[in-house]
A and B are shown apart, each in its own frame.
Chain A
Amino acid sequence: MRIGIDVGGTNTDAVLLDGTTVLAANKSATSADVTAGIIDTLDRLQAERSFDPAQVQAVMIGTTHFINALIEARRLAPTAALRLGLPATASLPPLVDWPERLVEAISGRSYLAHGGHEFDGRHIAELDPDELRRHAGDMMKHGVRSVAISSVFSPVSNEFELRAAEILRSELGDDVAISMSHEIGRIGLLERENATIINAALRELAASIVDGLSGAVAGHGISAPLYLSQNDGTLMDVDFARRYPVATFASGPTNSMRGAALLSGLDTCAVVDVGGTTSDVGVLTHGFPREATTEVDVAGVRTNFRMPDVLSIGIGGGSLVASDGELATDLVTVGPRSVGYRLTEEALVFGGKTLTATDIAVAAGRAEVGDAAAVADLDPTLVKAALARVAADIADAVERMRTSPDPLPVVAVGGGSILLPDDLPGSLAVHRPDHFAVANAIGAAIAQVGGEVDRVYAIDPGRRDAVVDEARQEAVDRAIAAGADPAAVRIVDFDEVPIPYLPGNATRIRCKAVGDLRLGTAS
C-alpha cells in the first residue's frame, strides 16, 4: 500500500492505493499548519478505510509550499550568490535580473570570484582561496545563512564549485547551507544560477517543512519512507528535498496529468483539467508530460526548470455564458470571464443571478448540483449552443497540443469536466475516470524516480556510439542511485545538440532515465 498526498494552496487531497487500486480518497481544505494538516488528512483516510500503518510501503507528497513561499516572498533565508568566472562574466553579476522585492526578501548579496571553465575544460582563471575567504568573511558579517555557488561551465567540470564549497564550509561552518549549481541546472549560466539561488533561499523552509511532514507521518505510526514529487513527475526522497527544494516547484500539473493517465489506463493521451476559471490541456507521451521548451519565469526570475507544457484556455465551471442577440446561437460565448470561487453564490443553480457554464451543465442534465429548477426555463437552444461552444473550444485546444495526425484520446479531470460531452469534435473520445477530483494525489503516489545527464561532450571521430552509451549509462546510474528499481529503468528522453563553431564535434547531450521506485527495500 502507498499513500499519495497533494498539498495545494487551497485543497489537500489524499489517496490510499494498493498497487494501482484506489482504496480511499479524500479532499480537505489546506491548513496553515502543515503538520496538523497532514495528520488530519491521514486520520480521514484511516476513518474512510482502516489500514495498518505498518503495511504502508511509501508516502508520496506533492506540495506547492515552496513555489508559494517564493511568489509571496516570505520565509526565505538570507542568501549569498557566489559566482566563479572572473575576469569573465563581470558585466552581469548574480541577481542582476531579479525583481527588487525578491532580492530584498532574501537579503540577497552577490559575489564574484576568479575561476570557471571554458567549454573544453580549460580554466578561465585559477581559483583564489584568499579571495573566497574574504567573501566568506563578508557573508558572515552580513548574517548570510545560505549560499548558492555557480561556476562557468560547471556542467562540464564541477571542480571549482566543489573546491569553493569546501573553503566556504570551513570558513562559515556547517550551519550555513551550500547549494551548487552543477547539481541543480543545465547549461545556461544565468538560468542555472537563478535556480540555485532560489534553492538556497528555500533551504531553511525546506528543512522545516520536511521535518513537519516526516513528523506527521511518523506520528501516525507510518515508518515507510517519505518522498516528494518533482516538477518532471519523478520522486525525490525527503533528505534530497531538504537539499533541493527547488526541484519540487511545479509538481501540481504533472501529478494531475499522471494521475489522470493511471485512472484512465491510457499512457499516451491529452489530459483536460477543467477547473472553475480555466481548462488546462497537457499531453502525456508514454506516461510522462511533454515538457515546455521555453524558459520559465518563476516569480519574475528566469530559470530553465523542466516544466510540463500546458495550454490554458478560459473555460471552466464558473465561466460566464453570454448570447449576443435573439437566439443567434452561433454567437454564444462561454468565458473567459468567470465568477471563479464565487460560483456557489452567483450561479443560477445556487440562487444567484449569473448564467454560468455550471448552470448550462445542470440544465442539460449532465450534472446534479444546486437547484435544477432554477435553470428549468433556460432556452434549450441556448443550452445546446453553449455546450457546443465549450466542446469546440476544448477540441481546438487539444488539437493544437496534438503532435501526430493519429487521434489522441482525451481524459477529462477536475470538477468542471461535467461540461464535456462524451465525444469531442474531430472524433476524439473523452474518458472520465473515477476519482478524477483527486488525480493530483494519485499522480504523486504513482510517481517514478529518475536520473538526468546534461553535458557538453567532445566526440572524437568514430566515438559517437561510445559517448552516447556513456551518457545513457550515467543517466541510468543516477536513477538507480535515486532509488529506481535497476530492473525497470529506461531512457525516456534523449537530445543531442551539436555546438556550432567549435572543433572536436562538441555536442550537448541531455538524457533522462526513469524507473519504478524500489519498494520495501528501503531501510
Chain B
Amino acid sequence: MSWQLGLEHLKDLARGAAILGTGGGGDPLIGRLLVEQAIREYGPITVLDPEELDDDAFVIPTAQMGAPTVIVEKIPRGSEPVGALRALEKHLGRRAEATMPIECGGINSMIPLLVAARTGLPVVDADGMGRAFPELQMETFSVYGVPGSPMAIAGEHDETVVIDTGPDNQQMEWLARGITIRLGGVAHIAEYSMTGAEVKRTAVPRTLSLGLSIGRAVREARAAHEDPIEALRAALAPTLYNHLRVLFRGKVVDVERRTLEGFARGRARFTGYDGTSQLELRFQNENLVAEVDGAVVCTVPDLICVLEADTAEPITTEGLRYGQRVTVVGISTPDLMRTPEALAVFGPSCFGLDVEFSPVERRTEVLVL
C-alpha cells in the first residue's frame, strides 16, 4: 500500500494543497520547489498509508510556522526542519521511524516531504488539521488527547529551542509564536510526536493523496476543456470530504483587511453576475464563514474555497483583488473534525464568531445554485 512520491506528483499536490489551504496556509510554490530540489538530490519519497503503521511505530510530524509574507522572501536554508526533528529526537532519546504533516493545506503539505527526502524516512499519508488552520493547538491530535509538547523549533543558524508546556497546547503555540518572530518571522518545527496507534486514532487519514487527487483532477479537466469545479466535485465524492457545494459565482467588489492580534483578519464581498445577490466572506488568514444575502451558508471547520472562475485555481485571502471573477465553494470536512470536542478547538466560536456550526451540506439544502 505504500507508494513512491516523485517529481511528477508535486505540481498536482501543490495545487490540491492550495485548495485545502482554504484561503491560507501559505503559498505551496516555494514548498514545491524545495521538495523538487530535495527529490533531485536524494531520490523519491516513500508514502505510508496510516493503516500500514505498526501500533508502536514512532512518528514525529514536521512543519513550518510563520507569516506567509515572510516565507515568500526568506527562503529556508533547507536543513531547518530536519534540524528540528533531530533536536526533538535528541530531547526524547528516541529516533523517529516516520514523519507526517500537521496540516495538509498550503506549504505545510510540503515540509514533511522535504524532511522525508533528506532523511530517507517515510511520510505518513495523514495530517492533524484536514485543511489549514492558523494555530498549533488547532489539531485533531490535540482534540483527541495527543499533546503537542515537547516541541522543537529550529532556525537557519543551526539554533534550536525545545518547548515543553505539558498538556497545554495553547501555551505551546504562544511561546513558539514569540520565538518564531525572533527567528525572523518564519521557523521550522517538530511536534506532536506519537505512536502508530495514536496516528490511527487521531489523524485525518489520506489527506496527502487527497491533495494529489484533487490537484490532478483540476489539471486534467482544464486540459480536456471540461469544468474543473465539476472535476473537483467528482474527485472529492469518494473521500471523507464527500460534499462540494457551489456557494456563489460572482466578482470581488470589496476587500478589507487589518492586523489584529497578529492575524490578518478581514472580510471580502462578492457580487453575483446578475448584480443583485451578494456573498460576504470573513477570514482570519483562512476563510471562516460565508454568508449569501445575510444567510450563513458555510462555516469553519468546513472548507470555504475561493476559486478562479474559469480555471478553479485557488485564490488566497492575500491574493483577493477587486474585480476577480470567482466561484466560491464549500467542502464538507470529515466527521472526526465535526464532533463537539473538535468544534471546541477549531469551531466557529474559537475564532470569535457568533455562529453555530452546521454542516455545509445541510446549510445549503435550500440553496438553488
- B180: which of A153, A188, A501 is its contact (CB, 8 Å)? A501
- B74, B180, B271: most-surrounded residue (chain A CB, <10 A): B74
Q: Evaluate contact between A498 and B34: CB separation under 8 angstroms.
A: no
Known contacts A293-B321, A501-B177; is A91 also within 8 Å of B73 by CB?
Answer: no
Q: Evaluate contact between A187 and B69: CB separation under 8 angstroms.
A: yes
**Interfacial residues of chain B within 189-237, with CB under 8 A of chain A in the complex:** none
- A85: which of B74, B180, B262, B324 is its contact (CB, 8 Å)? B74
- Distance between Cα atoms of A152 and B251 in the complex (Å): 35
- B34, B72, B177, B275: most-surrounded residue (chain A CB, <10 A): B72
Task: Give the chain A neighbours of B77 by CB distance below 8 A.
Answer: 86-91
Q: Evaluate contact between A499 and B34: CB separation under 8 angstroms.
A: no
Q: Evaluate contact between A89 and B67: CB separation under 8 angstroms.
A: no
**Interfacial residues of chain A within 480-523, with CB under 8 A of chain B in the complex:** 496-503, 505-508
Task: Give the chain B neighbours of A497 by CB distance below 8 A.
Answer: 69, 257, 264, 318
- Distance between Cα atoms of A309 and B75 in the complex (Å): 29
Binary interface encoding of chain A residues 206-234 relative to chain B, with 1 for a CB under 8 A from any of its CBs, else 0: 00000000000000000000000000000
Total A residues in contact with B, Cβ cutoff 8 Å? 47
- Distance between Cα atoms of A89 and B77 in the complex (Å): 5
Minimum CB–CB distance from A14 to chain B (whole Å) comes to 34
Asked if A290 lies at the interface with its beta carbon under 8 angstroms from chain B, I say yes
Asked if A353 lies at the interface with its beta carbon under 8 angstroms from chain B, I say no
Task: Give the chain A neighbours of B134 by CB distance below 8 A.
Answer: 500
Asked if A119 lies at the interface with its beta carbon under 8 angstroms from chain B, I say yes
Binary interface encoding of chain A residues 380-404 relative to chain B, with 1 for a CB under 8 A from any of its CBs, else 0: 0000000000000000000111111
Asked if A72 lies at the interface with its beta carbon under 8 angstroms from chain B, I say no
Asked if B156 lies at the interface with its beta carbon under 8 angstroms from chain A, I say yes
- Distance between Cα atoms of A188 and B30 in the complex (Å): 10
Asked if A32 lies at the interface with its beta carbon under 8 angstroms from chain B, I say no
Asked if B95 lies at the interface with its beta carbon under 8 angstroms from chain A, I say no
**Interfacial residues of chain A within 15-59, with CB under 8 A of chain B in the complex:** none
Residue of A nearest to B41 (CB): A91
Q: How many A-B residue pairs have CB under 8 A?
A: 134
- Distance between Cα atoms of A497 and B313 in the complex (Å): 21
Task: Give the chain B neighbours of A190 by CB distance below 8 A.
Answer: 30, 33, 72, 75
Task: Give the chain B neighbours of A91 by CB distance below 8 A.
Answer: 34, 37-38, 75-78
- B262: which of A402, A496, A502, A508 is its contact (CB, 8 Å)? A502
Asked if A97 lies at the interface with its beta carbon under 8 angstroms from chain B, I say yes
Task: Give the chain B neighbours of A502 by CB distance below 8 A.
Answer: 67, 69-70, 181, 185, 259, 262
Asked if A325 lies at the interface with its beta carbon under 8 angstroms from chain B, I say no
Known contacts A91-B77, A502-B185; is A507 also within 8 Å of B253 by CB?
Answer: no
Task: Give the chain B neighbours of A443 by CB distance below 8 A.
Answer: none
Q: Evaluate contact between A290 and B30: CB separation under 8 angstroms.
A: no
Minimum CB–CB distance from A307 to chain B (whole Å) comes to 13
**Interfacial residues of chain B within 126-173, with CB under 8 A of chain A in the complex:** 134, 156-157
- B75: which of A89, A293, A402, A498 is its contact (CB, 8 Å)? A89
Minimum CB–CB distance from B97 to chain A (whole Å) comes to 25
- A90, A120, A497: most-surrounded residue (chain B CB, <10 A): A497
Minimum CB–CB distance from A54 to chain B (whole Å) comes to 45
Asked if B352 lies at the interface with its beta carbon under 8 angstroms from chain A, I say no
- Distance between Cα atoms of A406 and B241 in the complex (Å): 39
Q: Evaluate contact between A92 and B30: CB separation under 8 angstroms.
A: yes
Asked if A343 lies at the interface with its beta carbon under 8 angstroms from chain B, I say no
- Distance between Cα atoms of A54 and B5 in the complex (Å): 68
Q: Evaluate contact between B185 and A119: CB separation under 8 angstroms.
A: yes
Asked if A96 lies at the interface with its beta carbon under 8 angstroms from chain B, I say yes
Q: Evaluate contact between A88 and B67: CB separation under 8 angstroms.
A: no
Minimum CB–CB distance from B18 to chain A (whole Å) comes to 12
Minimum CB–CB distance from A280 to chain B (whole Å) comes to 15
Task: Give the chain B neighbours of A96 by CB distance below 8 A.
Answer: 33, 37
Asked if A126 lies at the interface with its beta carbon under 8 angstroms from chain B, I say no
Residue of B nearest to A118 (CB): B184
Minimum CB–CB distance from A324 to chain B (whole Å) comes to 18
Asked if A456 lies at the interface with its beta carbon under 8 angstroms from chain B, I say yes
Asked if A416 lies at the interface with its beta carbon under 8 angstroms from chain B, I say no
Asked if B258 lies at the interface with its beta carbon under 8 angstroms from chain A, I say yes
Residue of A nearest to B273 (CB): A399
- Distance between Cα atoms of A405 and B271 in the complex (Å): 9
Asked if A62 lies at the interface with its beta carbon under 8 angstroms from chain B, I say no
Q: Evaluate contact between B69 and A456: CB separation under 8 angstroms.
A: yes
Asked if A339 lies at the interface with its beta carbon under 8 angstroms from chain B, I say no
Asked if A428 lies at the interface with its beta carbon under 8 angstroms from chain B, I say no
- Distance between Cα atoms of A86 and B156 in the complex (Å): 9
Q: Evaluate contact between B72 and A188: CB separation under 8 angstroms.
A: yes
Task: Give the chain A neighbours of B174 by CB distance below 8 A.
Answer: none
Asked if A141 lies at the interface with its beta carbon under 8 angstroms from chain B, I say no
Q: Evaluate contact between B73 and A152: CB separation under 8 angstroms.
A: yes
Q: Evaluate contact between A118 and B185: CB separation under 8 angstroms.
A: yes
The 10 closest A-B pairs by CB, nearest first: A91-B78, A405-B275, A498-B259, A403-B323, A500-B264, A501-B67, A89-B75, A118-B184, A499-B69, A88-B156
Binding site for B on A (CB under 8 A): 85-92, 96-97, 116, 118-120, 122, 124, 152-153, 187-190, 283, 290, 293-294, 309, 399-405, 456, 496-503, 505-508
Can you report 15 A-B residue pairs in the complex whose CB atoms are below 8 A from each other?
A: A85-B75, A88-B75, A88-B76, A88-B77, A89-B75, A90-B77, A91-B38, A91-B78, A118-B185, A188-B72, A190-B33, A400-B309, A497-B257, A499-B185, A501-B181
Binding site for A on B (CB under 8 A): 30, 33-34, 37-38, 66-70, 72-78, 134, 156-157, 177, 180-181, 184-185, 251, 253, 257-259, 262-264, 271, 273, 275, 285, 309, 313, 318-319, 321-325
A405-B271, A498-B258 known; 15 new pairs, CB 8 Å cut-off, are A86-B77, A88-B75, A90-B78, A91-B38, A91-B76, A116-B74, A118-B74, A152-B73, A188-B73, A399-B273, A500-B263, A501-B66, A501-B67, A502-B181, A502-B262
